[in-house]
Amino acid sequence: GAVRVAVRALCLAALLGALGAGGTELTVELPDSDRRCFHQELESGIKFTLDYQVISGGHYDVDCYVEDPNGKTIYQETKKQYDSFPHHTEVKGVYTFCFSNEFSTFSHKIVYFDFQVGDEPPILPDMSNRVTALTQMESACVTIHEMLNSVIDSQTHYRLREAQDRSRAEELSGRVSYWSVGETLILFVVSIGQVMLLKSFFTEKRSGSGGTST
């Protein structure tokens, strides 16, 4: 009974660690010819990772750059659909990362980004300084923790794919609707044209008949 309770406690700690680890995840709207910037104050020697992906809009591309507190550009990419940028800070201060859609004049974009700061803490105390091997119970908890992290990453990936597919389906549905309306208008115009053409034939015949009888 006590061993089972300890296993549950360690597994719960692994679950909470997997769910609580990380920084900030946001989905932002990026209008055409616009730019959105975010700021984060960091200590020196800290690792951070910026992952981003364009969910919808245009050709699914965006400009992105990251600046350190001194205004130095440490990352810059143009017209990227997705990317990941890991970096270790060298100076303390406010780091700025921006997403730009200034190159687009009519496409509205939606961008998802995940900003992770620092390394994930170990799920077991003094795990990095241990000399002895892990027990079977501890190894099982570490495995569960790694699997949970994999599940979280997979869920994020599938959510983004689902959002992209939904956006494309809505865009395709809109195009089909516009095409249907256009076809309806064309058929209406053609029908009216045919009626007017047939009416002109009978009008000409009546006019010719009247002139002959006179």
E strands within 31-129?
35-42, 47-56, 62-67, 73-80, 82-88, 93-100, 109-117
Burial call 105-141: b when 16+ CB within 10 Å, e when fewer: eebebbbbbbbbbeeeeebbeeeeeeeeeeeeebeeb
Task: Label residue 63 by pLDDT band (50, 70, 90).
Answer: very high
Domain locations in the chain as residue ranges: 21-119, 124-198
pLDDT at 58: 83
**Residue of 15 and 161 predicted with greater confidence:** 161
Which two tokens mark 67? 């600046």
Quote the distance between the C-alpha of residue 15 and its chain's center: 26
Encoded amino acid at 167, one letter? S
**Over the stretch 72-84, which tens digit does the pLDDT of each residue have?**
999 999 999 889 8
**Rounded Cα–Cα distance for residues 137 and 151 (Å):** 21
**Over the stretch 104-120, which tens digit does the pLDDT of each residue have?**
888 888 898 889 887 76
Q: What is the pTM of this model?
A: 0.61
The answer to whether 148 and 18 have CB atoms below 8 angstroms apart is: yes
**Rounded Cα–Cα distance for residues 57 and 59 (Å):** 6
Query: Tell me, which fold does domain 21-119 have in CATH?
Result: Jelly Rolls (2.60.120)
The answer to whether 131 and 37 have CB atoms below 8 angstroms apart is: no
Q: How many residues does the chain have?
A: 214
Measured CA to CA in angstroms, residue 89 lies from 62, 118, 121, 156 at distances of: 24, 10, 18, 26
pLDDT at 3: 40
